[in-house]
Structure 1
């Protein structure tokens, strides 16, 4: 499981270091690379191969939309998809199309967030704006769900 928030350097050549804790969350046989594509929001999403295939299969099995919408949805993720090998220091070089999509700034810091089964790479300013706008929505939604967390853990 991926979790936590990390600030990492984003160098002039487009490299970032994925924190060791996150890389070690990948199944051992899948720790040599990461699959990256656009995120749900203005970020880059990163998956190990198993989780990406699960995500892609879930997209392909959606039945609540017409085939044109499904094709556009699958296309948006797959045309931006690439697998990146980690170097010996756990760094990857992000492709320019994803850097542009997430509005990352070379020579600055980026946020790497663990989001259960994947990670997200964010421009810190964009993340702060998104987090502020969604906080109330999340709190309201959680209250409306009336979750009994004690029974969910068992």
Structure 2
């Protein structure tokens, strides 16, 4: 659920993983920060912890090096697409945070409205459920899980 102020809540299991992986003392405000950005290709958001951000920077640097031109220049779009419009967002002990305007617009997450959180490897994807269900390459098992969670909360899109 997205409230009138644009707040959403990270599900407890995903929130606990973010806090654990942060490297900050458990239960501290420093442990309750995530990087939020637009997905490189899909119309959703991605959230992850600071250590993952550091490894992402290393991978993007390697990708840039692989695509240098004859003068040694890199492709700036590798960084633009890989990092996207990112922001650190602090979440409270219940996992609530405000989705910044540019990110909400990118993922078509309206206020009030709905957001679907999906753990994908070391990242969390945040989707407008209608967009996820309509996405042509989304695996059917993910769509089924989304429909299940919507029905469980008695949400009709």
* Interval containing the TM-score (normalised by the shorter chain): 0.7 to 0.9
Instruction: State how many pairs are aligned.
Output: 127
Between stretches 114-123 and 23-32, larger displacement belongs to 23-32
- For residues 22 and 78 of structure 1, what CA distance do their matches in structure 2 show? 21
Q: Any stretches of 5+ residues in structure 2 without a counterpart? A: 25-29, 141-157
Bigger relative contact order, structure 1 or 2 (CA pairs below 8 A, ≥6 apart)? 1
Deviation of the 1:125 alpha carbon: 1.2
Please tell me whether the aligned partners of residues 35 and 49 of structure 1 are also in contact (alpha carbons under 8 angstroms).
yes
Q: TM-score, normalised by structure 1?
A: 0.73
Cα-to-partner distance string for 1:67-87 (whole Å, 9 max, x where unaligned) = 677311212444611101112
Say yes or no: does 1:25 pair with 2:26.
no
Please tell me whether the aligned partners of residues 38 and 84 of structure 2 are also in contact (alpha carbons under 8 angstroms).
no
Over aligned residue pairs, what C-alpha RMSD do you find? Answer: 2.2
Whichever structure has more strand as a proportion of its residues is: 1
- For residues 74 and 116 of structure 2, what CA distance do their matches in structure 1 show? 31
Q: Any stretches of 5+ residues in structure 1 without a counterpart? A: 1-8, 137-154
Q: TM-score, normalised by structure 2?
A: 0.72
Query: What SS does structure 1 have at the residue aligned with 2:115?
Result: strand
Counterpart of 1:133? 137
